[in-house]
Amino acid sequence: MTTDDNDTDIRLCRTFQTAPAAVPKDDSAKYLTSGLEADGFQAPDWLVPDLEDGTAPDMKAEGLENTIEQVPRYEFPGEIWPRVEWSYEDGTYREKGREQIDRLASAIGDEIEGVVVPKVGRLEDVRRAAEAVAEAEREHGYPDGSIGLSIIVETGRARSDLREIAKFGEDSRLTALVFGPVDYTAELGGRDLGDGRPRWDGLLEALSNEASAAGLLSIGGPFDDLFKERAGLTYYNAEEYADQIEHEARLGLDGSWSLYPKQTIQANTIHMPTPDELERDVHKIERFNEAKREGTGAVTIDGQMVDEATFKNFVNTVRTVRAIDERRPDQTGDYYDDELLERALELELSYA
């Protein structure tokens, strides 16, 4: 989690939804515009027009033009982060990436929060990607740092250098570390023996830690088993996606990848405190505030020993709700009952 003293400083990225920037349909921007138009829980916090693996090689130019044309036409409520091409091991992809970044900065530099660069390698390669963004900024007259950079961690090299990459990110335009499990599993030669890819728990824990230590966001990877089939019926795989997102939420990842509007609904929801969680933590804050007024440092509330460290966890819950409420009051209004939401918004959180 990346928080600051002020709720409004919490940067939301509960959902990182990629949409192919061009598909071979009559309306080649169909998925992109459907992402831009989404509302309520279907609207992702970050929409990622995908110029990389989601768009076929011979449609990438069209995908770039779609992005440039469509993004300014909508009042999208979240952030726009196009994903460009890149490769730590192949300079031709880096050249394409540089041109895409340049074109995006030139045409819609003030409509996007940054670009997402995939397949980065060791720290030097991440620096190189950051430099490509800096060049595009200078070239098109944007102030230094105004166009962000997020990277997909999906190579053995990027995982190996994760700590150093995140530390570099402390003082740079680097904004989010996003996991890319599919490429990552291919690089490591991981196997799916019929029960799915490994979860890579060590990596997820490190991603959450290094992002927190450096003030960056951490985002989980895509879940591609979109549909299941049983007894002749094909249906959306809601259970397994939710399991993955809950796992990521437990580990402190700020958000999750979505490939599909239904996934966006689920990830947006899971990365909000549940009503039970909010009720529980609001209650414990109220009780702990009373105890502090009586001069106690640690106190047992509902069987749990609570002190200032425990208190911080409860405060996280409330501050996350406040941050979402400020930007998506439709979602908090929908999800929590009025009385609970009001208690959460009015609660005294400082423990000084």
Residues 249-268 that bind a second copy (CB under 8 A): 249-252, 254, 259
Range 161-180, binding a second copy (CB under 8 A):
163, 166-167, 180
CA distance 261 to 135: 34
In the region spanning residues 105 to 134, those forming contacts with a second copy, defined by CB under 8 A, are: none
Question: Smaller CB distance to a second copy: residue 54 or 148?
Answer: 54
H, E, C per residue of the chain: CCCCCCHHHCCCCCEEEEEECCCCCCCCCHHHHHHHHCCHHHCCCEEEEECCCCCCHHHHHHHHHHHHHHHHHCCCCCEECCECCCCCCCHHHHHHHHHHHHHHHHHHCCCCCEEEECCCCCHHHHHHHHHHHHHHHHHCCCCCCCCEEEEEECCHHHHHCHHHHHHHHHCCCEEEEEECHHHHHHHHCCCCCCCCCCCCHHHHHHHHHHHHHHCCEEECCCCCCCEEEECCEEEECHHHHHHHHHHHHHCCCCEEEECCHHHHHHHHHHCCCCHHHHHHHHHHHHHHHHHHHCCCCCEEECCEEECHHHHHHHHHHHHHHHHHHHHCHHHHHHHCCHHHHHHHHHCCCCCC
- In the complex with a second copy, which residue's Cβ is closer, 205 or 342? 205
Window 139-158: residues binding a second copy (CB under 8 A): 154-157
Nearer to a second copy, 193 or 231 (CB): 193
Which 291-310 positions form the footprint of a second copy (CB under 8 A)?
292, 294-298, 300, 302-310
Report d(CA 329, CA 272) in Å as an integer: 12
**# chain residues binding a second copy, by CB under 8 A:** 92
Using CB under 8 A as the criterion, what x/- string covers residues 38-67 for binding a second copy?
------------x--xxxxxxx--------
Select 91 or 295, whichever has its Cβ closest to a second copy: 295
What residues between 312 and 331 interact with a second copy by CB under 8 A? 312-313, 315-316, 320
CB of 74 closer than 8 Å to CB of 111: no
Q: Does 273 bind a second copy (CB under 8 A)?
A: yes
Report 185-214 residues binding a second copy (CB under 8 A): 185-194, 197-198, 200-203, 205-206, 208-214
Q: Which stretch binds a second copy (CB under 8 A): 41-49, 105-113, 139-147, 160-168?
A: 160-168
Min CB(194)–a second copy separation in Å: 7
Residue number with CB closer to a second copy (106 or 185): 185
> Which one of the spans 142-150, 227-235, 321-329, 338-346 is the region binding a second copy (CB under 8 A)?
227-235
Establish if 277 lies at the interface with a second copy (CB under 8 A): yes
Instruction: Find the shortest distance in angstroms from Cβ 260 to a second copy.
Output: 8
Which residues inside 73-92 make contact with a second copy, applying CB under 8 A?
Answer: none
* 3-state SS assignment for residue 148: strand
Token duo for residue 86: 């890149």
In the complex with a second copy, which residue's Cβ is closer, 111 or 226?
A: 226
Nearer to a second copy, 106 or 289 (CB): 289
Instruction: Give least dist CB 297 to a second copy, A.
Output: 4
Q: Which is nearer to a second copy, 146 or 316 (CB)?
A: 316
Angstrom distance (rounded) from CA 51 to CA 84: 5
